[in-house]
Amino acid sequence: MTSAPLAEAAAGTSPEPAHERVHRALRRRILHGELAPGQPVTLRGLAAALGVSMTPAREAVRRLTAERALETTPTGRVLAPVKSAEALAELLAARALLEPELAARAAARADAALVARLRSHDDAVEAALAAGDAATYVRANTAFHATLYAAARAPALMALVESVWLQLNPSMRILNGRAGTAGLADHHEQAMAACARRDGTAAAAAVLADIRQAEALIAGGG
Amino acid sequence: MTSAPLAEAAAGTSPEPAHERVHRALRRRILHGELAPGQPVTLRGLAAALGVSMTPAREAVRRLTAERALETTPTGRVLAPVKSAEALAELLAARALLEPELAARAAARADAALVARLRSHDDAVEAALAAGDAATYVRANTAFHATLYAAARAPALMALVESVWLQLNPSMRILNGRAGTAGLADHHEQAMAACARRDGTAAAAAVLADIRQAEALIAGGG
DNA sequence: TCCGGCGTTTTGTGATCACAAATCCATGTG
DNA sequence: CACATGGATTTGTGATCACAAAACGCCGGA
């Protein structure tokens, strides 16, 4: 197997370790909500799927479990965690504490290019919402927030928020699947307007409202 | 050569994996500030120090790097991260966002036993401060906060805060080494009083003041 | 005294293997 | 028809190995 060491060796510029590639691939799947809660992740299966041996697969899984994106049972089995309603509420509380700060910092550094990228992601959000495509919605919504916060240039805070998303997104997919109502993008609009004005306070308020809306959705959906 | 599989096998109740033991041991060292920033951590060295092979050592290191407690250079070397002043400020900002919430939740659930445990840890803090023992101070101070927040029963928030501590503590040791001033425990006193009264707001305020003091310390120390 | 080059040693990486435990599934029994 | 029980299979774990690259130290020259 893995008879082909991949053509990227020809590029020469990026001798990326295999375990990092596995980590990013699995992380992306989780962040996009493609991994259902409770779904097991086997080392051999993951390794075979990406054409590597068990060792880098194990390293990638360990990293994700450290980020709480995966869960290890007492017997060593690894699976996407099933979050209780209380756990989801706690994660949303964490978002409510962290993300407004990130939004405020981002808005203070915003420029036209950022607003344009945000607009592009928000269009995708609304399109997915209209089409009832839950998976695409989660991906686009995450991309919107990630793009906004990246402008804050606060890597440590960003890492904390991403850890929360990794825990939240698998469950969000199911949640949004049954709550495909409209009008969810209003706060995105406010956030973009705040960025255009470099208004950090308004951006923080918009993001907080966005999160509060998600909280209400969970509380309502039970 | 790990000739002795440890007597814990006799207990029978906990067949704990080796990689978890390595992870906890290394994590404890980092949390206690025993690992100086920039100090390298070699896989073989770590494995030999704990009597295991490279594989579990590698897994433990991966977990810690995922928690941002360790850093990987482009060449694969692993070392305790050297934080810039901006990075430290960002981490303290994260503490200021998260810990007051945890303190408020903890105070609402506080009982006499908790206050007693906090008192015990705070005594150790003041003793270490008086003795100028930086390492013990970091350990006792962390134990005080950890004990308080554990009462909040918010595991996800707690995990985020612990990740911040892991990044902060190695640098804190150096910082406190040169700033051994007195009167630092006042906010701990206020926090314990707030817990005794079940006053969440006051507990949050006390913790926030504690963190602001640390921020001022860093800003002053430059 | 400082600096560049070269060989040795150290180090991370990924694959493979043996082993024990857990899981799964089918079968038989009440 | 529900449920326990048996064995076959899957799975995580930890050790070991070969390999390439990086780090280190030494030495000679300017």
CATH superfamily of B85-221: GntR ligand-binding domain-like (1.20.120.530)
Nearby residues of A84 by Cβ (< 8 Å), 6 or more positions away = none
> Are residues B63 and A62, on separate chains, in Cβ contact within 8 Å?
yes
Residue B178 has pLDDT above 80, yes or no: no
pLDDT tens, B28-63? 999 998 899 999 999 999 999 999 999 999 999 999
Q: Which positions of strand D lie within 7 Å of protein CB atoms? A: 10-17, 21-23
As a whole number of angstroms, the distance between CA B188 and CA B194 comes to 10
Q: If DSSP codes are grouped into helix, strand and coil, which group holds residue A199?
A: coil
* Nearest residue by alpha-carbon distance to C1' of D11: A42
Tell me the count of A-B CB pairs closer than 8 A.
76
Chain B residues with at least one Cβ partner in A under 8 Å: 17, 19, 55, 58-59, 62-68, 76, 87, 90-91, 93-94, 97-98, 101, 154-157, 159-160, 163-164, 167
Report helix, strand and coil shares of chain A as percent, to nearest 5: 70, 0, 25
Burial of A45 (0-12, 13-18, 19+ CB in 10 A): exposed
Contact B47, B56 (CB under 8 A): yes
* Range name among A200-204, B172-176, B201-205 with the lowest pLDDT average: B172-176
For residue A130, what pLDDT is reported?
Answer: 85
Domain boundaries, chain B: 8-79, 85-221
Which amino acid is it at A40?
Answer: P
As a whole number of angstroms, the distance between CA A107 and CA A198 comes to 5
Please check whether the two domains, B8-79 and B85-221, share a CATH topology.
no
Chain A CB contacts of B72 below 8 Å:
none
Q: Which of these CATH numbers, 3.30.499.10, 1.10.10.10, 3.20.20.300, 3.40.50.720, describes B8-79?
A: 1.10.10.10
As a whole number of angstroms, the distance between CA A116 and CA A122 comes to 10
Q: Which CATH class is domain A14-79?
A: mainly alpha
Chain A CB contacts of B163 below 8 Å:
159-160, 163
The C1' atom of C12 and the CA atom of A207 lie apart, in whole Å, by 42
CA distances from B62 to A24, B59, B69, B71, B205 (A): 14, 5, 10, 10, 36
Does the nearest atom of strand C lie within 7 Å of B39's Cβ? no
Q: If DSSP codes are grouped into helix, strand and coil, which group holds residue A51?
A: coil
* Range name among A88-92, A130-134, B87-91, B179-183 with the lowest pLDDT average: B179-183
pLDDT tens, B113-135? 999 999 999 999 999 888 888 88
| Residue A177 banded pLDDT, cuts 50, 70, 90 | low
